[in-house]
């Protein structure tokens, strides 16, 4: 059995009117969690705002079998967003 601890940003990439959960450390955590066995445990450390994006993120985290017990909900800030601009070929 492995116990894995990852930490870093979780943010939403915003393309036009669509928000997609991401952030390199969180993306890594998702992929690692999918590789682990059922007996293994992955915990992710980050801080999220007390908002709808955070609620959606926590639901997603639960579905990915990631332990969210070390995620801080901060009432003073919003969950992070990164605006992504697309070129004429619809590529970032």
Per-residue model confidence as pLDDT tens digits over 30-64:
999 999 988 899 999 999 999 999 999 999 999 99
Task: Determine the pLDDT at residue 37.
Answer: 86
Nearest to 10 by CA among 59, 90, 87, 91: 59
Work out the percent of the chain whose per-residue pLDDT is above 70: 100
- Per-residue pLDDT band for 17 (boundaries 50, 70, 90) equals confident
Rounded to whole angstroms, the Cα distance separating 24 from 92 reads 16
CA angle, 46 as apex, 41 and 51 as ends, to 5°? 115
Taking the model in full, what pTM does it have? Answer: 0.89
Q: What is the mean pLDDT of residues 65-70?
A: 97
Residue 89 lies in a domain: no
Rounded to whole angstroms, the Cα distance separating 41 from 23 reads 21
CATH of the domain at 54: 3.40.1190.30
Give the domain range for residue 7: 3-84
Residue 76 lies in a domain: yes
Task: Determine the pLDDT at residue 16.
Answer: 86
**SS3 for 59?**
helix
């Amino acid at each position: 059995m492995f116990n894995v601890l990852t930490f870093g940003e979780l943010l939403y990439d915003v393309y036009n009117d669509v928000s997609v959960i991401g952030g390199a450390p969180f993306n890594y955590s998702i992929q690692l969690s999918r590789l682990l066995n059922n007996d293994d445990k992955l915990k992710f450390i980050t801080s999220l705002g007390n908002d709808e994006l955070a609620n959606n993120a926590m639901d997603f985290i639960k579905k990915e079998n990631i332990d969210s017990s070390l995620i801080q909900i901060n009432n003073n800030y919003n969950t992070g967003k990164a605006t992504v601009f697309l070129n004429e070929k619809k590529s970032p």
